Amino acid sequence: MIAKPLLKAAASLIAIAAFTAACATAPADTASPAADAPTAVEAQAYVDAAERELAERSVFESRTAWVYENFINFDTEWLLQRASAEGTEARVRLASGAGRFANVDLPADTRRKVDLLRLSLVLPAPQREGAADELAAITTRLSSAYSTGRIDYQGRQVTLDDLETMMGTERNAANLEEMWSDWHATARPMRDDYARMVEIANEGARDLGFANVGQMWLSNYDMPPAEMEAEVARLWGQMRPFYEQLHCHVRARLNAHYGDAIQPRTGPIRADILGNMWAQDWSTLMPMMRPRGAAATYDTTRLLTRAGYDARRMTETAERFYTSLGLQELPDSFWERSLLTRPRDRDVVCHASAWDLDNREDIRVKQCIQINAEHFETIHHELGHNYYQRAYMNQPYLYQNGAHDGFHEAIGDFIALNVTPEYLAQINLLQRNRIPPASADVSLLMERALGKIAFLPFAISLDQWRWQVFDGRTTPEEYNADWWAIRLGNQGIAPPNERPSDAFDPGAKYHIANNVPYLRYFLSYVLQFQFYEAACRQAGWEGPLHRCTVYGNREVGERFNAMMEMGASRPWPDALEAFTGTRQMDGSSMVRYFQPLMSYLQEQNRTEECGW
């Protein structure tokens, strides 16, 4: 998959905040301790004023960010820095002011909003003059460096979206290494800026009462940070045995294709030959991984091409899935204002994203759509963000978000899981007599696992690395070495060559350069299968779980929308229970979905030395 950010406001993308006027919240009379004691009434008034200010500010910031991402140049960078610095000063002022009520006995609703104010920041700047401007300049430089990056390849300038397509089809190891190495080299100049950003943000986190930025991020899940880390380890433990079997099988096939000199039969897999720039999605290797002797399946990319799909039609098809569940059509403004293809005349941020620019109906997608299976699923995913945004738009501003950040990603991916042969037949993309037989299920599951299972350890690696960076265990000199140590431990992959001493390979990933927390994607993969299994159960599906689609089921749509309408108004277990009937995130739905493939992999790996 292409990992994608949710953009509610510019601060969600650049995600910075600064403090300049916390003293404005202090009582004028400090002589009497009793007079200074904050009250529940004051807390409610404070929250109400904060919501009004943030709602108004977010519209300006969102529109500024939209213009920047669609017209990257000196002036739009300047505007974004200015909007970020000014707007996020207010956010830490409000967060710091909310800290006055941390120990006040408050009604549940007020308490939740106070806590959301304190925890709404991603990169907080400290309480000194100029910190917000410096942080805004750094984060904008990092974002622009990533989004304008190009490499010279075979006599022409190549953008990242071109590289992604090429790496999915190229099988020459020397060419793959060249593309991989040259793209990662574009991130090398980011390292010093990144290190300075960490210093500033950690100082700001301490001002807000957190040990570091990583601990602040982990406090966003309705449980203490240590418990959340343990929860991540538990969930990964449920699926790690499956990943190890997949890794073992893929490595053997790559060895058979490339030979020992390029990919040995044992040890880690070379990162550049996995069909994806970041080795996070291996689905383009499917022609090489298809089970021998398995019944023929189908090629969604070929189906889309033959049917004459373009970017608009792919988006309209995705919209129809949501309307088939009883949800409203997208507003006309969506079609007038979204960006669905890469412009030829300017630099844009092409990373797929969903936008809510006015906290009401001005929802949009920005995706440089290519006519292939991956982007077909991606546009189904992105519209999930938009439908979630629309569902909770009547909530107070502070509740206009997912139950936790993993929910927002899981919504669209749950819908994308429904892109099954049955669904493709229902939308007349696949002829019914071409629906693969049950004997092809292992092939279908293999293709899905190469995207879903392969992604899991990558998804936890990004934030595990950042937690170490923020708490000081990883210093700037160790950025690259520790990046690869973590990825080796979790993923069993290694770079294709010795990395330069000044390399900054983490910056070659969008979410590092743009400071988007990544744990949400791991959690979303757990949740999407829980949502999917619950929906199929509600629909009365009786066949194999992986063949289910709830396309057209309005009963499922009603319960689905009821969960989305809650937004962040309740702790996430309440939202989870509303749709699935359980209050705990659980990887067992994913295990059940892929069980037929697990049996196949174990049989295939009988003579292999698995692990790395």
Please check the confidence at residue 32 and state whether its pLDDT lies above 70: no
Q: How many angstroms separate the CA atoms of 219 and 325, rounded? A: 34
For 271-311, how does the pLDDT look when each residue is reduced to its tens digit (9 = 90+)?
999 999 999 999 999 999 988 877 667 889 999 999 999 99
Alpha helical stretches, state H, 186-224: 191-207, 213-218
Task: Taking residues 315-334, report their average pLDDT.
Answer: 97
Q: What is the pLDDT of residue 23?
A: 35
From the list 63, 61, 62, the residue with the least C-alpha distance to 83 is 61
Contact between 545 and 592 under an 8 Å Cβ cutoff? The reply is yes
For 470-492, how does the pLDDT look when each residue is reduced to its tens digit (9 = 90+)?
999 999 999 999 999 999 999 99
Contact between 482 and 468 under an 8 Å Cβ cutoff? The reply is yes
Q: What is the mean pLDDT of the chain?
A: 90
For 220-276, how does the pLDDT look when each residue is reduced to its tens digit (9 = 90+)?
999 999 999 999 999 999 999 999 999 999 999 999 999 999 999 999 999 999 999
Single-letter amino acid, residue 405 = D
Please check the confidence at residue 361 and state whether its pLDDT lies above 60: yes
Q: What is the pLDDT of residue 31?
A: 37
Q: Name the more confident of 147 and 398.
A: 398
Please check the confidence at residue 21 and state whether its pLDDT lies above 60: no
Please check the confidence at residue 5 and state whether its pLDDT lies above 80: no
Please check the confidence at residue 1 and state whether its pLDDT lies above 90: no
Query: In the structure encoding, which two tokens stand for residue 454, read together?
Result: 């392969």
Q: What is the pLDDT of residue 3?
A: 33
Q: How many angstroms separate the CA atoms of 61 and 83, rounded? A: 6
Q: What is the pLDDT of residue 100?
A: 86
> What share of the chain has pLDDT > 90, as a percent?
76
Name residue 16's beta-bridge partners.
123
Q: How many angstroms separate the CA atoms of 564 and 411, rounded? A: 9
Please check the confidence at residue 22 and state whether its pLDDT lies above 50: no
Please check the confidence at residue 16 and state whether its pLDDT lies above 70: no
Q: How many angstroms separate the CA atoms of 223 and 423, rounded? A: 38
Sequence-distant (6+) residues with CB within 8 A of 85 are 18, 132, 133, 135, 136
| Torsional class of 493: left (φ above 0), alpha (ψ -120 to 50), beta (otherwise) | beta
Sequence-distant (6+) residues with CB within 8 A of 402 are 6, 388, 408, 411, 567, 568
Q: How many angstroms separate the CA atoms of 473 and 5, rounded? A: 27
Contact between 160 and 149 under an 8 Å Cβ cutoff? The reply is yes
Q: Which residue has the tokens 């949502």?
A: 531
* Per-residue H/E/C for 487-509: HHHHHCEECCCCCCCCCCHHHHC
Q: Which residues are catalytic?
A: 382, 511
Task: Reduce the DSSP state of residue 611 to 3 states and report it.
Answer: coil
Handedness of CA 219, 221, 224, 225 (dihedral sign): negative
For 82-126, how does the pLDDT look when each residue is reduced to its tens digit (9 = 90+)?
898 788 778 878 988 888 898 899 999 999 999 899 887 888 888
Sequence-distant (6+) residues with CB within 8 A of 198 are 213, 469, 470
CB atoms within 10 A of CB 31: 7
> What share of the chain has pLDDT > 70, as a percent?
94
Contact between 6 and 387 under an 8 Å Cβ cutoff? The reply is no
Query: In the structure encoding, which two tokens stand for residue 186, read together?
Result: 């574009």
For 62-71, how does the pLDDT look when each residue is reduced to its tens digit (9 = 90+)?
999 999 999 9
Task: Taking residues 572-592, report their average pLDDT.
Answer: 95
Contact between 457 and 236 under an 8 Å Cβ cutoff? The reply is yes
Alpha helical stretches, state H, 471-587: 479-491, 510-513, 519-538, 554-565, 572-580
Q: Of the given ranges (143-157, 183-197, 450-464, 585-599), which has the lowest mean pLDDT? A: 143-157
